[in-house]
Amino acid sequence: MGPADGLRVTTIGTAAAYGRPGEVQACHLVRAGGARICLDLGAGALNAITAHVRPEDLDVVVISHLHPDHFIDLLALRVYMVWGPGAGRRLRIVGPPGLREILARFGGEGLGSALVFEDLDGDAPETLIDAPLRVRHRQVPHLPPTYATRIDAGDRSVCFGADCAPNDALAALGAGADVLITECSFGVGAVPAGVMHLNARAAGEIARAAGAGRLLLTHCFPEWDPDEAARAAGRIAGIPASAAHPGRTVVV
C-alpha cells in the first residue's frame, strides 16, 4: 500500500459524558485501504467530522456502546442522511442490539433505509468491510455489551478500547497494535469504587500488557489534565503516550 492507502487515525472528539466548553464527545475516524470508518459519534462529532470526510462517504459507523456520549449524534446523522446532503445514500451503522430502537423514539423515518443497522453479537464479532481491512471487535467490561474495535490494514493496526473497566480482553484484542486508544476517564486520579472506567495507571497497564507501540488517551473528564495522564500512563506502559487532540491525525 502507498502512503495514501496507509492507516491513518484522526481524533474527532475526546470528551467524556461532560466536558470543557466547546469539546466534542467520543469519535475517531480511521482511514485505510480506501475505507473510512467512524468509531463512535458523540455530541458534536457529526459537525466536527465534516472537516475530514463527508458523512455519506463513510463505509461504516461503529458504535461501541449505548451510552449517549458515544452515539447521540446518530440523531443528527439521521437528519443529514434523510433530508440533508446524504439523501439517497445508505450508511451502515454497526453497534449493540437496541441502538435502532433507542433512536426510533426520536423519529423512525430513514432508520433501516438511510441508516442500515447491524447488531454486534457475541464476545468477539467481526465486521466485514469491502476493503483490504480486518475490523474485529471484543466485548470489554462496561455497560453490557460494550465493544472495543481493532482495525488491521496490512501490517499496521489500531485498536480502540471504548469505555471499560480494567480487563484482559482489551490487551488481548490490542496485542501488538501499533496504536492503542484507550479511555482515561479519571486521569491521574483514582477510579471510584464500582465505576467501570480507567485511569492513567490502568490504561498504562493495559497498553503494557498488549505490547502496543503507542498509546493515545481519550475520554478524560475535565477535572483531570489529559497531558499529565499521558505522561503517567506512558511511564507505566514504557511506550510513547500522548493525549488525543481533536483534529490531529496519526499516520500509523
Q: Tell me if 243 sits within 8 A of 12, measured CB to CB.
A: no
- The three three-digit cell numbers of residue 138, written as one number: 471484543
**Of the two residues 28 and 67, which places its CB atom closer to Zn ion in the complex?**
67
DSSP state of 195: -
Residue number, 69 or 152, with CB nearest to Zn ion:
69
Q: Which residues pair with 179 in a beta bridge?
A: 158
| Beta partners for residue 27, in sequence order | 13
CB of 163 to Zn ion, least distance (A): 4
Residues 6+ apart with CB under 8 A from 243: 14, 216, 217, 218, 220, 226, 227, 229, 230
Taking alpha carbons only, the member of 174, 178, 227, 176 closest to residue 200 is 227
By C-beta, is 67 or 137 nearer to Zn ion?
A: 67
Q: Please, which residue, 32 or 160, has the CB nearer to Zn ion?
A: 160
Report d(CA 164, CA 153) in Å as an integer: 25
Would you put residue 41 in left (φ > 0), alpha (ψ -120 to 50) or beta? beta
Work out how close the CB of 216 gets to Zn ion at its nearest, in angstroms, rounded to a whole number. 16
- Site residues, Zn ion (CB under 5 A): 67, 69, 163
32 or 206: whose CB is closer to Zn ion? 206
Q: Whole-number minimum distance, CB 25 to Zn ion, in Å?
A: 8
Q: Least distance from C-beta 240 to Zn ion, angstroms?
A: 24
Q: Residue 31 Cβ, how far from Zn ion at the closest point, in Å?
A: 23
Backbone angles phi, psi at 37, to 5 degrees: -120, 130
